[in-house]
Structure 1
Amino acid sequence: MSLMIGNIKIDGNLVLGPMAGVTDLPFRLLCKEQGADLIYTEMVSAKGIQYNNKNTEKLLEVAEGERPVSLQLFGSDPYIMSETAKRIEDKNFDILDINMGCPVPKVVNNGEGSGLMKNPKLVGEIVHAVSSAIKKPLTVKIRKGFTESTTNAVEIAKIAEANGAAAVAVHGRTREQYYSGEADWKIIKAVKEAVSIPVIGNGDVITPESATALINETGCDAVMIARGARGNPWIFSQIKEYYQTGKIPKKPTPQEAVDMMLRHARMSIDYKGEYTGIREMRKHIAWYTTGYPLAAKLRNRVNEIESIEQLQELLFEYLKSIG
């Protein structure tokens, strides 16, 4: 089930979606190992790059082992977006993506992220300016619409295609919904039927069965998994196993989960230093332990850990407590 986005061949149809504060380099590498075929970075501010923001620079780092990678930019000024795209094109990524889906108020209130879906004319100008400025393929990630009554994913996808986009990812929720309620897969199907470029479906893929159902119901070319991968990088290998065997894979054992948490923590510390790395791991551990016995007790204590030794001790204690 390979996929072509512009001139980039993706050897499969499973995509790790962009999540601010989650899809950093260590997590992306773990998902790649588990079978993610295309990896998106956290979204990066075009203005932040223009102003040489130090934190922004870190977000542009891509490891050779995680490619192919889609680097996601956000912004609302066609000139700044195109100039930034030109400036970073020689970085180690394969595809450039424009974020038109982020629902966060501070982004939307600047007319960026999903705020762009209220302005189809500007969408066309941005996509045209950026696609004309670079040789790498350009894609866009959109939502169903800004509100239910202004659903316009089909219109925006057509505009993106007409202005040079090589693929479009569609999240089946409106901005109004944020991440609540159910994703509307019918809108993904409608977009797929309206454009000739690849369509990546996104929303409510949390199991191998839901990944298969999304493809069957919408005809989309690839499946994007975002929140379903939090604390569960195994989801990619599980989906592939389900594709091949038709059997639902078993949940990783507590020991396997602990091994993955410790590996993730060490990678995070190597990349960001112990102070930041271990603190950022706290939320990941809360996600990793969901659904395991006595996990609530573990999550209460995880916010106190400040070193890899403390984390190791806590997790080994946890394994003993569940026998």
Structure 2
Amino acid sequence: MRIGPYILENNLMLAPMAGVTDRPFRQLCRRMGAGLVVSEMLSSNPKVWNTAKSMQRMDHSGEEGIRSVQIAGADPELMAQAAQFNVANGAQIIDINMGCPAKKVNKKLAGSALLQYPELVESIVKAVVAAVDVPVTLKIRTGWDQDNRNGVDIARIAQENGIQSLAVHGRTRACMYNGEAEYDTIRAIKAAVTIPVVANGDITSPQKALQVLSYTGADGIMIGRGAQGNPWIFKQIQHYLDTGEHLGEPPLAEQHEVLHEHVANVHAFYGVPSGVRIARKHVGWYLSEHDKDRQFRKTFNGIEEASDQLRALDDYFQALQSRETRQISPAA
């Protein structure tokens, strides 16, 4: 799949998720097989660019692969300035957020709220595309609500005004993340435009990935919540698409190694106490299948020191592996 001058290694992408797709997680998913990883959403309001949160979100130091940065806002001029600022800071692709359903974003007329105003969508797209010399992509939903699924119209506006690739989440803004994603609108969008279309929403397994690609005709898929606690999903999907075989879950030793490394990188990136706090949600996602009664996570969430968190994870996985050994041993 091509976006402007860039040819991706595959057509699997990590969706931008505020509070999730920070540099440690992006780099991990990239190593696990994602062809493109997109940064957390950055506000187009220059007043917040110097805050600690924004500075961390804009930190691409040592980052491998194509750097795609998502920006959000409702003012065409400010969005253009934000695009220029982020390109100067290392962005190689600018992604425009018109898909976020969060109330705090929508009340500022940003994110998926913009889908109500096609003329404003056009103005923003034109301004951003004209402001930078890197590819500009767009992420949208299928529409504002069930009665206003205007994704096809928005897609045409995007294509006519220079958008290089379009990602579509298979829900309206009104749906938030409830119910199941639908792919009929994504299929219609793919049929209506010639730019690459990327399908997003409820892709949580290799089988679902193949189903969505086949049904929609999309050029790629974008994975969000399905990658939380499961960065291996990109490797599993690619293997299934290539061979038709299921790769299976990684062994406990690999799960331990990856989680330990991820948490250590979060500590290093954010420092203490922020890194300790942020690590808790990632550990919760990783261990949702192992820690059914949530007893370990309850204990882990009370740990305040980075070294103690890592030690607790090591002890937990050692216990898991000992239990697994006893279960498969003939002597047991």
Q: Which band: TM-score by shorter chain?
A: over 0.9
Matching residue of 1:76: 74
Whether the 8 Å contact between 1:64 and 1:92 is mirrored in structure 2 is no
Q: 1: distance between equivalents of 2:147 and 2:24?
A: 40
Matching residue of 1:112: 110
Residue 220, structure 1, aligned to residue 223, structure 2:
no
Which of 114, 122, 125 is 1:124 aligned to? 122
Q: 2: distance between equivalents of 1:52 and 1:315?
A: 34
Q: Secondary structure at the match of 1:73?
A: strand
Q: 1: distance between equivalents of 2:118 and 2:9?
A: 32
**Residue by residue, what CA displacement relative to the aligned partner does 1:104-131 show, whole Å, maximum 9, x if unpaired?**
1111011000110111100000000110
Matching residue of 2:243: 245
1:203: Cα distance to partner? Answer: 0.5
- Distance of aligned partners of 1:87 and 1:312 in 2 relative to their CA distance in 1, 3 Å threshold: closer
Q: 2: distance between equivalents of 1:49 and 1:210?
A: 42
Matching residue of 1:283: 281
Q: 1: distance between equivalents of 2:129 and 2:104?
A: 26
Residue 9, structure 1, aligned to residue 40, structure 2:
no
Whether the 8 Å contact between 1:39 and 1:66 is mirrored in structure 2 is no
Computing the radius of gyration from Cα coordinates, the structure with the larger value is 2
Identify unmatched segments of 5+ residues in structure 1. Answer: none
Identity of aligned residues (%): 40
Q: Please give the TM-score of this superposition, normalised by the length of structure 1.
A: 0.95
Matching residue of 2:313: 315
Q: 2: distance between equivalents of 1:295 and 1:35?
A: 31
Matching residue of 2:181: 183
Matching residue of 2:327: none
1:103: Cα distance to partner? Answer: 0.7
Q: Secondary structure at the match of 1:87?
A: helix
Runs of 4+ in 1 over 6 A off after TM superposition: none
5 Å matches for 1:194-233?
A: 194-233=192-231
Matching residue of 1:167: 165
Q: Secondary structure at the match of 1:170?
A: strand
Identify unmatched segments of 5+ residues in structure 2. Answer: 324-332
Whether the 8 Å contact between 2:46 and 2:82 is mirrored in structure 1 is no
Q: 2: distance between equivalents of 1:172 and 1:12?
A: 21
Whether the 8 Å contact between 1:8 and 1:94 is mirrored in structure 2 is no
Q: 1: distance between equivalents of 2:49 and 2:290?
A: 45
Q: 2: distance between equivalents of 1:182 and 1:243?
A: 23
1:244: Cα distance to partner? Answer: 2.4
Q: Secondary structure at the match of 1:215?
A: helix
Residue 38, structure 1, aligned to residue 36, structure 2:
yes
Q: 2: distance between equivalents of 1:19 and 1:97?
A: 13
Which of 292, 295, 298 is 1:297 aligned to? 295
Which of 62, 87, 90 is 1:89 aligned to? 87
- Distance of aligned partners of 1:320 and 1:90 in 2 relative to their CA distance in 1, 3 Å threshold: closer
**Residue by residue, what CA displacement relative to the aligned partner does 1:220-241 show, whole Å, maximum 9, x if unpaired?**
0011001000001111111112
Q: Secondary structure at the match of 2:137?
A: strand
Whether the 8 Å contact between 2:140 and 2:168 is mirrored in structure 1 is yes
Whether the 8 Å contact between 2:49 and 2:55 is mirrored in structure 1 is no
The amino acid of 2:262's aligned partner reads H
**Residue by residue, what CA displacement relative to the aligned partner does 1:248-282 show, whole Å, maximum 9, x if unpaired?**
12112333222221111111111111311111010
Q: Secondary structure at the match of 2:246?
A: coil
- Distance of aligned partners of 1:295 and 1:255 in 2 relative to their CA distance in 1, 3 Å threshold: farther
Q: 2: distance between equivalents of 1:262 and 1:295?
A: 21
Q: 2: distance between equivalents of 1:192 and 1:49?
A: 38
Instruction: Kindly report the root-mean-square deviation, in angstroms, between the aligned alpha carbons of the 2 structures.
Output: 1.6
Q: Secondary structure at the match of 1:98?
A: strand
Whether the 8 Å contact between 1:254 and 1:292 is mirrored in structure 2 is no
Q: 1: distance between equivalents of 2:114 and 2:93?
A: 20
Q: 2: distance between equivalents of 1:269 and 1:214?
A: 36
Matching residue of 2:57: 59
Matching residue of 2:265: 267
Q: 1: distance between equivalents of 2:162 and 2:311?
A: 53
1:181: Cα distance to partner? Answer: 0.7
Matching residue of 1:133: 131
Q: 2: distance between equivalents of 1:243 and 1:129?
A: 38
1:316: Cα distance to partner? Answer: 3.3
**Residue by residue, what CA displacement relative to the aligned partner does 1:153-203 show, whole Å, maximum 9, x if unpaired?**
111111111111111100001111111111111111111001110001101
